Amino acid sequence: MPAGPPPPPKPPESTCCRWSVRYNALDLLFGRMTFEGEVAVIGPLTIGIAPSWIWGSLEDASLDTTGYALAADVGVYVEGKALRGFWVKGRIGYESFEAVITPPGRLEGRGDVSSVVLGGMVGSTNVLSRDGGFAMSGGFGIGVALADPVTITAGPYQYSFYEKAGKIKLMGSLSLGVVF
């Protein structure tokens, strides 16, 4: 009996993905401009960094904030391939900004606000080709600010940071970039 045709050759292993650089467009809604960098370490384990420029506050028209934030992530890609698929990340960050409250009238209050923020996120990263290239990553999570409450006063007006529910920080990412 003749042997059947040989099996088709296997495609070469994908060399993707070792690193990624992305821009987080979602943070614009929070008055921040954030870039994200992520590097595969071993297997599904990654480390990342996310520097942010805080340029404003969209919470209140009489409040303006200017400063920076820096966060570091340790991520595990659940499907076993780093920088591709579903992930879970632990995050530690630091934010520092000057808050200026200018209510109606000519009063002004200023104060420095800063805190370490600890949290976690879940999400997914999609790469459009087998060997890297354009990537879209999205996720959400929750964090806790560890600083004591800070209150800024301008005459009879007050604005508080990190007080009660203000200690809870919503974290989100909808970022576009490249993965190689």
Q: What is the tens place of the pLDDT at every residue in 78-129?
A: 998 999 999 999 999 999 999 999 888 778 999 999 999 999 999 999 999 8
pTM of the entire predicted model? 0.87
The reply to whether 31 falls in a domain is: yes
Which CATH number belongs to the domain containing residue 108 in this structure? 2.40.160
More reliable by pLDDT, 5 or 140: 140
What is the C-alpha radius of gyration for the chain, rounded to an integer number of angstroms?
22
51: in domain: yes
State yes or no: pLDDT of 11 exceeds 90.
no
The DSSP annotation for 91-152 comes to: EEEEEEEEEEE--SSS--EEEEEEEEEEEEEEEEEEESSTT-EEEEEEEEEEEEE-SPPEEE
Query: Would residue 14 count as lying in a domain?
Result: no
**Beta strands at 85-101 and 109-127: parallel, antiparallel or unpaired:** antiparallel
Q: What is the pLDDT of residues 20-33, one digit of tens each?
A: 999 999 999 989 99
Count of domains forming the chain: 1
Position 7 in a domain: no
Q: Report yes or no on 13 lying in a domain.
A: no
Domain membership flag for residue 122: yes
Burial of 79 (0-12, 13-18, 19+ CB in 10 A): exposed
Note whether residue 5 is domain-resident.
Answer: no
In a domain, 9, yes or no: no
**Containing domain of residue 25, as a range?**
19-179
pLDDT at position 13: 66
